[in-house]
Each structure stands twice: as structure tokens, then as C-alpha cells.
Amino acid sequence: MSNVVIIGAGIVGTNLADELVSRGWMNITVVDQGPQHMPGGSTSHAPGLCFASNPSRTMTLFAQYTVEKLLSLEFDGRKCFNQVGGLEVATTPERLEELKRKHGFATSWGVDTRLVDADECLKLYPLLNRDLVLGGLHIPSDGLASAAATVQLLVSRTRKSGVRYLWSTRVTGIEQANDHVTGIVTKAGIIPADIVVSCAGFWGVEVGALAGLPIPLLPMAHQYVKTTAVPAQIGRNSLPDGASLPILRHQDNDLYFRELGERYGIGYYGHRPMPVAASLLSTTPSDVDERNMPSRLKFTPADFDAAWKLSQDLLPALGDADIEDGFNGVLSFTPDGFPLVGQSPALDGFYVAEAVWVTHSAGVARALAELMTIGKSQLDLSCCELSRFEQTQLTPSYVNEASQQNFREVYSIVHPFQQRNSPRNLRLGPFYLRQQQLGAVFLEASAWERPEWYEVNKTLVNKLPAEWQPRKRDAWSSRYYSPIVAAEAWKTRTAVAVYDMTSMCRLEISGPGAVDLLTRLTTSDVSGKPGSVSYTLLLDDHGGIRSDIVVIRVLDNSFQVHANGPTDLAYFSREAREQTRAAPGRFVQVRDITGSTCCLGLWGPRSQDVMAAMCIDEPPGTAGHPRLQAKHVSIGGIPTVAIRMLYVGELGWEIHASADHGLRLWDTIWQAGQPHGMIAAGQSALCSLRMEKGVRIWGVDMSTEHDPYEAGLEFAVQDDKGGYVGADALKRRPRDESARRLRCLTIDDGCSMVLGKEPVYLDGGPVGYITSAAFGHAIGRPIAFATLARRVNEGDAVKIEYFGRLIPATVAAEPLFDPQGNRLKA
Ligand code: FAD
């Protein structure tokens, strides 16, 4: 059994020790630089409000588990969770709409919530100002965690199970050998360990640096005050920190409230961002108390002035009280607002669980314990996977700017496609200048600038046949959308379009062990001759889909893999290291070649004509170039590899070249395409076309929570192949007995859009949720993919809840477009 060291005894570290112990793990040491009675991290002063509902399903389920677990814990005769419920109030029409959306995704994730009118808000919370409140969302399962008490309880319970705690002991080094962690360094010497987990909270950057690991986290100060007794509250709660009213959020003004006996606790996110360097904070003293701890900085009253006035506006009873005590508490923000959970991409055995709120603490700890003990969390961890960031996104300047933006938006109404204004233009493909000339509207993804559509195509909208004319949309779904997308989809289906696919992650996997590695990790045979191409899956040991990839055999010992980003790179690199350690002669190298290469997709019925015009020496034609085959082709005098890929359900190719050749490749294709009516088209059209053809996106439509059968990807599993990761688990799963399945829906009225995460109802009861959505221009109606209970069948009439409105839809057979594949037979 492994020797585990956990750095940090806050709410995350102690929960992790507890989760590991409950799974039978022993030999666990928890080390904290602070003293036991109050270690001095963010947990030591956390007011403990737990609002569970979150646009992310994983975050919501983390919170649900935290509530469930804390409800089962008692410290000094008191429960560690006070389930007073939560109330989020709206004081603007926009927020009222947002609460409807929130009610939708809470329902999707199984949280019971209720939209309530202003009168009912007053019944739930009599202190509210009736003149301001327009309505609210009531969440009965929310409440208050006693975070510090939970830590004390978990320390005592895990200690009884043999966990060793070292207090007032700072970790000053991480020992490693052969890319594997071997221990930690403290003033008392080296403590050997084969697993080290950093649960160091906002000190994560410093601890990560000891292991050579950049941690994309920014510590920031956040203001919290306690009031004097509020006369209207006197006698209401018997305990000094007691509460009986729901926890309250007033997000229109960045405020939250809790009762503290007769007093109030008020938190504020509306002040200027106040980044903090943990390394410059005072070291943790041995006599930490409520007012003297490194995570509690001096209050800056001027930053709270507006908040105090706004608080009294919402709760007039506060006008009879004063601020008794305030501080600027330190907590962690990340570039995308999600926690950092998982194993280091480069140092095996070094794990991280940081930027975690009290709300999600037990859920995150359970997920990490599952990952460490059985290799898989029951929840999809893609949103908080430690390795999810591109190198560019790990630079301190990016982390600083993006995390501060997240602080500003923590209570804002954020559209699912909302873009940051800065940092931008970090990763530009070689076609960027040409795309600008065509009026490309760029959206950012993984720090790449990707054309969403091209304004130059606006003139085509008027030429669209009646059945292709774009439908009118509601204001919310019209954001980040243009009717030009319809024209780009139309040209792809009727002529030819060129798509920039450069941002797709490309890995080179090479060496004498490359075939072994890919054979062991994928669901299909990837050992064909050089030039062969396979769409295949990476599974985990339990049969869940870790990723979907395309594998191209370039040479006997060299492959190009089209993957889903840095998490796949980390996985392949880790597996390659392990294989190389076990069999040095079968070594494998994994290299990210995305930035040094580029890729264009050329699709449409006339793509062959364009290809023929370009490849004068050796027109590949479709006859001499079978599907899923890669061929070396010279285009405009530059070497390229053309792969017959059918992503959008039209004839065509992905054309790959080195980045230095990119501009010439674009110009050559552009020139050759003009006589055939070719246009440049963007990601929005691509999304519409792929949904018409039933193509899934990993991380959106499927994840480790789904097996290939549930995702409708059984075709990617080769029946006669065994021995790969996940094969045994998959064999044990009967194909037709999974509880749910990814389904395709079409919207009955032909125009109402949904965007994803909305709940789906059958006969009035919830049966699942939407994963992705787009308007299907070729089929003339919106399409949505949904994870639905198995009992929902093709042809069933369902309803989708969108901002409180029920939209009728039908479960459809897939694919919606060209089901016989006739267009691909040419
Ligand atoms: P911490 O509690 O900070 O624990 C990390 C531990 O690591 C510390 O004890 C530290 O001493 C130790 N450590 C660090 N470096 C080393 C080292 N080198 N060697 C040894 N030990 C080390 N969250 C909510 O869910 N609801 C709320 O209402 C809420 N309100 C908040 C209000 C304020 C004012 C603040 C500041 C935060 C609030 N949070 C809230 C956030 C929440 O408090 C934190 O996210 C959470 O407590 C973090 O827990 P943790 O265990 O990760 O970190």
C-alpha cells in the first residue's frame, strides 16, 4: 500500500485523509505549517455558506455530497451542517430571468429548487425590502457548513484510524527520482512517500513550485464583515453563531448574507480585485487565533463602503446596526473559475486538490480519493482536471489577468459562450491575416483565436433558398450568433467550404514502443499500414470514455494523434513514461505538435474539384484515396498530408502541413476554390453540420461517466480486440442495459433554440438534460443532444425547459442528415 503525505489540514486535506481511510488506505501523514486548533488557512475563518446549484453538473454534485457528508457529522454535540436553505433574490429583470435558467440547470442536476415570487421571498425572509425584490430562487437543501469544526472532527476521527498529523511543520521541499515523487522535506528531515497530495489552498503556487509544477491559481482578498447585534434579530437564534433564516444571495450587488446569532455576516465581491502573493504573507505563527492568521488581512473599509449601504437597502433592519469587525480574507481564484484536481502531468505520484471552496470540499476529496484508489472518479472531472490548461495559460500574467476577471464575474450573469476581452490573441494560426481580411469574427478556445463565422459571407444570406433562411431567435441565444452561419452551412452542403482546424490538438507519438502503447490504450486496431487512420476511444479501467481520438499511422514507429487537449497529452505522457520504465527498449516519446503544424478542412460536394485543381502532379481523387486514409500530397509546391475525413457528412479532406507553409496552403486552396464557389466557414457552421451527422464532442456530450454504448459510439469499439485499458470492464457491461443513453432531439416548432444543460421532461417528469445544441440548417430545425433515461425512445415527445418555458421536442433517429450516407459514396 502507498505511503501518502497530504500537505495542508484545511477542509480539503482533512476530508481527503478521511475519504482515503474510509477506502481502507493506511500510512497517511498530514502535514500543516499551522497549529492544530486553528491551522490558519482559509478554512479557519470561512463563513461556510453552501449554495449548491452551479452551471457545472460536477460542481453541483460535489456540493451535494459535501452537504450530505457534513449533515452526518457532529462536533461537540452540534451538527456540522445547518440546513437552513438558500434564497437567491433578483432585483433586476435580467436576474429574474437568470434565476429561471438556474432553476433549469439545478433541475437537470437533480437539485430541488423553487422559483418564488416577491411575496414568497418575504415569507421566507421577512427582513427583505419588498420594494426591491422582484422574485427569487429557493433551494431547501442549501445551508451553512461549520468548516473549522468539521476539520477538528475529521482530524480526531482519522487519527483514531491511524492517520499521523504533524502540526506547525512547514513543507520546504519535494523529493523526486526518475520522474516520480519520493517524499517531502521538512525542518525535521525527509518524510518518504510515494504519493504526495498538495491541499495547500492559496499556498498552492509555492508548494507546486517545490515540485516544479506551475499551479494556475491566484490568491485574492475578499471582504467579509460581522455586524453588531441587529435589534430585529434579538432573541431569534440561541447560539452566538446560530442561524435559522436561509442563507441569502443578492448577486445583483455582489453580496451574500448569513445570520450569526443576533448579528449578521456579510460577504462582498463588488470591490476591486486584490491579488495577494502568498509567498509575501507572514509565516504562520504557533499562536494563531481568530484575528491573527496569515489568511486574514487588514480590512480596507473604503472598499466596503458601497456594500454596507447596499446591504441596508436590501435588509433595512441592518440600519440599526454597525460593522463590528471586518477583514480581507484570502482565497484562491483560477483562470476559469474551477478547482485544480488531479495528478501532475510531469511528476508521477504528485497530486493536487486546490482552489476548492468549502461548498465543494468533501465532493472534491471523494473524487480525488477515488482517483487515487481505483483510478477513476464517479464524476466527470474534465472541468477541474489539473492538466486542462495550455502552456500559455500557465504563465503568471495569464493566470493573473484571467483569474481577476473571474473574481469580477463571480456573481455576474455569464452567457455560456461569453468571451474574455483580455488576454486575447495569444495563439494565432498561420491563416490569421487572411481570415481577418475576410472579416472573421474570432472566439477564443484554449487560447486560440478561432473564426466563428466570416462577415464577408453576409451577402450570401440574401441568396439563401427559402428553406435555408435563418429563423428568428430569442435575445439570449442570439448572442455570439450570426445568421451568416446559415449561409456557411448552405455553401458546405451545396458547394465547398474551407475550415480552419488548426486549434485541434495534435500529438506525435513515436518510438519503438509506440504501437504497443496505442494498442494498449485504444479500443480499435491502430496497427494498420502507414497511412491508415482510425477514429477510436481511450477508456478508463472501468470502461468510461476518457477521450475520443483519431490515430494516423505516419511511419512504422510514428503516429499522429488528434486529441482533446492537454489532458490527453498528460495521459499519453504518463503512460509512455510508465511503459518506458517497465521496458526501456520499448520507449515512447509524446510531443505536442499543435503549434508547429496547421490544418485546413476542405468539405463539400465540390471539394474533389478543388483538390484536383490543386494537386496537379497527383490528384488524389476519392477513387484512389479511400476513406480514413492519409496520403502525402504536394499542394502549391508544399508537402502536405491529406486525410479523407467525413466529419460534417460531406466529401472532403483534412489537409495538414507544417505551420511555416500555412499561408501558402491557404492561398493555394483559396485560389483553386474560387471557380467552384468555395467560401471560408467558421466553427458555428461546423457545429451545426456535425450535429446533423450525429458527431459527439468529448467533454460536452460524453465523458468518463459514459461508456461507449451510452454515448452511441459502439462502432468505435472493435469487438474482436481485447487487452486494452477498459476492455474487461466493457465486456462485463451488457450493451442494452445501461440506465441512460445519448439521444438526438429535434425541436418541434422549428425555431426555438436551447443552448445546453436544460432539463428534459417526459410525461411531466425529468428524464435527463441537454448536452449540446445547434440549429440544423440542412434539416430546417434546431437540434439538441441529450443524456436521457433508457426508457425514452425514438419518436417520444418530450419537453425542454428553457428560461421557465417548456419547448416541445421529439426524440429522433440518427443521423438526421443523409442517413444512408449517399453523399459520401461519390
Ligand atoms: P486552507 O484552509 O487554506 O488550507 C490549506 C492548508 O495548507 C493551511 O492550513 C496551510 O497552513 C497549509 N499549508 C500551506 N502551505 C503549506 C506548507 N508549505 N507546508 C505545510 N502546510 C502548508 N467557501 C465556501 O464554500 N463558502 C463560503 O461562504 C466561503 N466564504 C469565504 C469567505 C472568505 C472571506 C474567504 C477568504 C473564503 C471563503 N470561502 C468560502 C472559501 C473557502 O474558505 C476556501 O476555499 C476553503 O476553505 C479552502 O480550503 P483548503 O483546505 O483548500 O485551504
Nearest CA to ligand 1 atom 18: 171
Q: Model pTM?
A: 0.97
Instruction: Give the H/E segment covering residue 118.
Output: helix 118-124
Instruction: Give the H/E segment covering residue 684.
Output: helix 683-692
Angle at the Cα of 814 (from 812 to 815), degrees rounded to 5? 130
* Amino acid code (one letter) for 802: Y
- For residue 791, the model assigns a pLDDT of 95
- For residue 619, the model assigns a pLDDT of 56
User: For 674-701, what is each residue's pLDDT tens digit?
Assistant: 999 999 999 999 999 999 999 999 999 9
Lowest-confidence segment of 7-11, 140-144, 242-246, 611-615 by average pLDDT: 611-615
Q: 554 alpha carbon to ligand 1 midpoint, in Å? A: 49
- Would you state the torsion angle of the CA atoms of residues 451, 452, 453, 455, taken in this order, to the nearest 10 degrees? -70
Sheet with 638-643: list strands edge to edge: 630-635, 638-643, 652-658, 597-603, 497-500, 679-681
DSSP for 365-407 reads: HHHHHHHHHHS--SS--TTTBGGGS-GGGGSHHHHHHHHHHHH
**Best of 42, 146, 241 to mutate for ligand 1, by most ligand atoms within 8 A of CB?**
42
- For residue 322, the model assigns a pLDDT of 98
ipTM exceeding the 0.95 mark:
yes
- For residue 616, the model assigns a pLDDT of 59
Retrieve residue 637's grid coordinates. Answer: 509546391
Q: 239 alpha carbon to ligand 1 midpoint, in Å? A: 25
Q: Which residues of 756-782 are buried (b: 16+ CB within 10 A; e: fewer)?
A: bbbbbebeeeebbbbbbbbbbbbbebb
Active-site residue numbers?
222, 256, 548
d(CA 407, CA 258) in angstroms, rounded, equals 21
d(CA 365, CA 355) in angstroms, rounded, equals 12
d(CA 756, CA 774) in angstroms, rounded, equals 9
- For residue 621, the model assigns a pLDDT of 57
- For residue 75, the model assigns a pLDDT of 84
- For residue 628, the model assigns a pLDDT of 80
- For residue 291, the model assigns a pLDDT of 80
d(CA 354, CA 365) in angstroms, rounded, equals 10
Say which residue, 719 or 127, is predicted with more confidence: 127
Q: 171 alpha carbon to ligand 1 midpoint, in Å? A: 17
**Residue 69 pLDDT exceeds 60:** yes
Give residue 617's pLDDT band: very low, low, confident or very high (50, 70, 90).
low
**Residue 784 pLDDT exceeds 70:** yes
Q: Please answer whether residues 538 and 517 qualify as being in contact, where contact means their C-beta atoms are separated by less than 8 angstroms.
A: no
CA distances from 673 to 404, 488, 617, 678 (A): 45, 15, 18, 5
User: For 484-542, what is each residue's pLDDT tens digit?
Assistant: 999 999 999 999 999 999 999 999 999 999 999 999 999 999 999 999 999 999 999 99
Give residue 826's pLDDT band: very low, low, confident or very high (50, 70, 90).
low
**Best of 6, 37, 43, 170 to mutate for ligand 1, by most ligand atoms within 8 A of CB?**
43
Q: Which long-range contacts (CB under 8 A, 24 or more apart) does 98-104 make?
A: 98/413, 99/135, 99/136, 99/137, 100/803, 100/804, 101/803, 102/53, 102/137, 103/137, 103/804, 104/757, 104/758, 104/759, 104/801, 104/802, 104/803, 104/804
* Mean pLDDT score of the chain: 95
Mean per-residue pLDDT for 432-456?
97
- For residue 77, the model assigns a pLDDT of 87
Nearest CA to ligand 1 atom 35: 329
- For residue 305, the model assigns a pLDDT of 97
Which residue is listed with cell 472573421? Answer: 440
Retrieve residue 90's grid coordinates. Answer: 433578483
d(CA 275, CA 202) in angstroms, rounded, equals 11
User: For 638-651, what is each residue's pLDDT tens digit?
Assistant: 999 999 988 899 99
From the CA of 330, give the closest atom in ligand 1: 36
- For residue 289, the model assigns a pLDDT of 78
Which residue is listed with cell 452526518? Answer: 72
d(CA 684, CA 479) in angstroms, rounded, equals 12
Nearest CA to ligand 1 atom 32: 46
Q: Please answer whether residues 303 and 329 qualify as being in contact, where contact means their C-beta atoms are separated by less than 8 angstroms.
A: no
Give residue 216's pLDDT band: very low, low, confident or very high (50, 70, 90).
very high
User: For 414-426, what is each residue's pLDDT tens digit?
Assistant: 999 999 989 999 9
- For residue 144, the model assigns a pLDDT of 98
Q: Please answer whether residues 261 and 188 qualify as being in contact, where contact means their C-beta atoms are separated by less than 8 angstroms.
A: no
Q: What is the 3-state composition of the chain as percent helix, strand, coil, each rounded to the nearest 5? A: 30, 30, 40
From the CA of 360, give the closest atom in ligand 1: 25
Give residue 618's pLDDT band: very low, low, confident or very high (50, 70, 90).
low
d(CA 382, CA 373) in angstroms, rounded, equals 18
Give residue 283's pLDDT band: very low, low, confident or very high (50, 70, 90).
confident
Nearest CA to ligand 1 atom 45: 357
Phi-psi region of 447 (alpha: psi -120 to 50; beta: other; left: phi over 0): left
- For residue 273, the model assigns a pLDDT of 96
Give residue 775's pLDDT band: very low, low, confident or very high (50, 70, 90).
very high
User: For 178-197, what is each residue's pLDDT tens digit?
Assistant: 999 999 999 989 999 999 99
**Residue 622 pLDDT exceeds 60:** no
Mean per-residue pLDDT for 450-474?
97
Mean per-residue pLDDT for 242-271?
98
Say which residue, 284 or 412, is predicted with more confidence: 412
d(CA 65, CA 71) in angstroms, rounded, equals 10
From the CA of 224, give the closest atom in ligand 1: 34
Q: 24 alpha carbon to ligand 1 midpoint, in Å? A: 26
pLDDT above 90 covers what percent of the chain? 92
Q: Which residues line ligand 1 (CB under 6 A)?
A: 7-13, 31-34, 39-43, 46-50, 170-171, 199-203, 207, 222, 224, 267, 284, 295, 329-331, 354, 356-359
**Residue 352 pLDDT exceeds 70:** yes
**Best of 38, 338, 357 to mutate for ligand 1, by most ligand atoms within 8 A of CB?**
357
* Amino acid code (one letter) for 670: W
Q: 40 alpha carbon to ligand 1 midpoint, in Å? A: 8
Q: 661 alpha carbon to ligand 1 midpoint, in Å? A: 49
* Amino acid code (one letter) for 601: G
Q: If you count them, how many residues does the chain have?
A: 826
